[in-house]
Amino acid sequence: MILVGGLAALLQAFVSLSATAKVLIAVSSAAALISLCFYAAGAQDPDENSPDSLSGWNLLAIVPFFDTRFDFLNAAFQHSGQSIFKFKLLQNTVIAVSGAEGRKDFLTSRGLDINEGFKLLSGAIPMLPGVTSDLQARRIATIHKRLSMAQTSEHLSRLLPKILDDGERLMGLWGNSGTIDIFDCIPRMFFQTSVRCLSATEIADDDDAVARLKQLYDTLDTATTPASVLFPWFPSPSMISKLVATVKIYKIVNGVVQKRTQSGVVEDDTLQILVDNADDKMVMIGFIMGLLVAGARSTGTTASWLTIFLAGHPEWRMKAREEAESLLLTHSCYSPGDSVKSALASIPLEIWENETPIFDSLIRETLRLAQPHTAMRRNMGPDAYIGGKRVPSGSYVVYPFSDVHLDSELYPDPWTFNPARPENKTPHSWIGWGGGTTVCMGQRLARLSLKLITALMLLELDFDLVDRRTGQPPLVLPQPNWNDALTCKPDNEDTRHMRYRRRQCMAKS
Ligand code: HEM
């Protein structure tokens, strides 16, 4: 508490500095960055089992690791002529891995730690000393345990109608017809459902609080720069805005946690699971702050791309709508004129989970083609071997999902969206929810939310993709930009719009 208070005071002091003082600090940050870059240019390792270093690449060339990671890694693999190479980020060794053998070793090596990897290399998770950056293994284990409790069939069945309520309410704000930017409205909707499912009713029911939180999390994304990742302790402007946003998020979450624990009020929500288990406050705050990042961003991105693909591919939109209609007619008591949302809410969880082959294949193909993830780990065990190359204890390892998901031997014509692709049986050839020792712990909730909101949209709206300049379907369908490491938003903003019109009520066949 004292720590956070002190931190807030320090931030306040910085914010009130004169413009000149801020410029001086920023200039000295840049000077330090440049000198450290030159200091860090790596030397070759004489060990023959060590991966080759990128020769002729100094740290300035490695800034693209943060800005244009897909291009950087592709070019570097090509330049090195190897499937595994290493480079330096300041004093840290980072080993980049590709290929089937490297992938298997990367995913299954026990000493590789995801939390330590993300701490240095991601920079997009709010790091608040004592709250999120210093969560000990014991607290992380408790958070993971509570996350599985939040995804028992019983709890998910209770969340199911609430997710649909939120979806219906936000879609209602769009009106009966119009055009929306998919990458604005869809992440907003999934941020709301994530807040609903991973935090507290008091926040989820408060539109202003949700909007504020969304804006703060967006600030964290935009404030993540190479400098803020490499020198998180340095008061660069981006580091300051990131810290300010993190402290504000902390205050919102802390306020709700404190009120709930002190008032003894009982709610039917996920925070209550933590309260009932008498978890310590740092676990509660870490759970909400950390999982909102993990959950809302990835679910919002996947949902946005799923919507783009459905809007741009009428044949798949039709198949998905038929599946949603069939669920409604077979597993609910829907009659024309009834509320579609209420009917969907009455469909049992196990039907949503096990009897939606079209939705499953749509999600699978979306996660293959539009998830620009690079898995990051730190070797916290003894030296390990990946693809026959030595990974020293303490070094960092990265594996870009593009290596497998865009491999034309595994996926012919890899940039084409085709949910009818046969499932490849090669081990670890599809890792949309992770693989080996690290798989997504929120996937049950994420899949359910994606299916519910998509079904609602398909049944309540007619929609297609539109180029906002011409008002016509785009000549070329948007393609995921893998250099945008968080959302892979298409480069052309004009073609990511959806035109929609509310449908007449569905007839019962
Ligand atoms: C469509 C949405 C989602 C996608 C595509 C997704 C994907 C993934 C992937 C690929 C990983 C493995 C990362 C790696 O190996 O580096 C992962 C891990 C994880 N995910 Fe998700 N995720 C989604 C939603 C969620 C949600 C909603 C939550 C929480 C409620 C969540 C919680 C986690 C956690 C805690 C881990 C780390 C597991 C560990 O430490 O072993 N994810 N996710």
Q: What is the pLDDT of residue 223?
A: 62
| Minimum-distance ligand 1 atom for the alpha carbon of 447 | 1
- Where b means 16+ CB within 10 Å and e means fewer, 325-356 reads bebbeebbebeeebebbebbbebebeebeebb
Higher-pLDDT residue of 66, 176: 176
Average pLDDT rounded to a whole number, residues 302-313: 98
Q: What is the largest CA-CA distance in the chain?
A: 75
Q: CA–CA separation, 158 vs 245, rounded Å?
A: 32
Q: What is the pLDDT of residue 31?
A: 44
First to last CA, the chain: 61
Kindly tell me the sign of the dihedral angle through the C-alpha atoms of 439, 305, 309, 336: positive
Tell the residue nearest (CA) to atom 16 of ligand 1. 375
Q: What is the pLDDT of residue 30?
A: 45
Torsion of CA 343, 346, 348, 349, to 10 degrees: 90
Q: CA–CA separation, 369 vs 354, rounded Å?
A: 23
Residue 474, pLDDT above cutoff 70 = yes
Average pLDDT, the chain: 87
Distance 287 CA to ligand 1 centre (A): 14
Give residue-wise pLDDT tens across range 104-129. 999 999 999 998 887 766 654 445 55
Average pLDDT rounded to a whole number, residues 294-304: 93
Q: The tokens of 324 are what? A: 């949603």
The residue whose CB lies within 8 Å of the most ligand 1 atoms, and thus the one to mutate among 198, 298, 302, 305, is 298
Q: What is the pLDDT of residue 60?
A: 61
Distance 179 CA to ligand 1 centre (A): 31
Average pLDDT rounded to a whole number, residues 49-61: 74
Q: What is the pLDDT of residue 135?
A: 58
Distance 10 CA to ligand 1 centre (A): 33
Torsion of CA 346, 351, 352, 355, to 10 degrees: -140
Q: What is the pLDDT of residue 249?
A: 96
Average pLDDT rounded to a whole number, residues 253-279: 97
Distance 94 CA to ligand 1 centre (A): 22
pLDDT confidence tier of residue 371, bands split at 50, 70 and 90: very high
Distance 290 CA to ligand 1 centre (A): 11
| Minimum-distance ligand 1 atom for the alpha carbon of 438 | 41
| Minimum-distance ligand 1 atom for the alpha carbon of 401 | 10
Q: The tokens of 352 are what? A: 């949503």
* 354: helix, strand or coil: helix
Residue 93, pLDDT above cutoff 80 = yes
pLDDT confidence tier of residue 340, bands split at 50, 70 and 90: very high
Residue 335, pLDDT above cutoff 70 = yes
Q: Which amino acid is at 178?
A: G
Contact 400, 408 (CB under 8 A): no
Higher-pLDDT residue of 25, 295: 295
Candidate from 34-38, 281-285, 302-306 with smallest mean pLDDT: 34-38
Q: What is the pLDDT of residue 28?
A: 45
* Residues contacting 347, CB < 8 A, separation 6+: 327, 328, 331, 332
| Minimum-distance ligand 1 atom for the alpha carbon of 197 | 30
Is residue 163 packed enough to be buried (19+ CB in 10 Å), middle (13-18) or exposed (0-12)?
Answer: buried
Residue 23, pLDDT above cutoff 80 = no
The residue whose CB lies within 8 Å of the most ligand 1 atoms, and thus the one to mutate among 368, 401, 443, is 443
Q: What is the pLDDT of residue 91?
A: 79
The strand order across the sheet containing 497-502 reads: 177-181, 497-502, 461-466
At the topology level, CATH places domain 2-15+24-37+47-502 in Cytochrome p450 (1.10.630)
Average pLDDT rounded to a whole number, residues 378-398: 96
Domain ranges of the chain: 2-15+24-37+47-502
Q: Which residues line ligand 1 (CB under 6 A)?
A: 114, 147, 198, 291, 294-295, 298-299, 302, 367, 371, 373, 375, 433-434, 438, 440-442, 445-446
CB atoms within 10 A of CB 380: 14
Give residue-wise pLDDT tens across range 210-234. 999 999 999 888 766 677 666 767 7
Within the chain, how many helices (H) and strands (E) appear? 23, 13
pLDDT confidence tier of residue 369, bands split at 50, 70 and 90: very high
Average pLDDT rounded to a whole number, residues 331-355: 96
Tell the residue nearest (CA) to atom 42 of ligand 1. 442
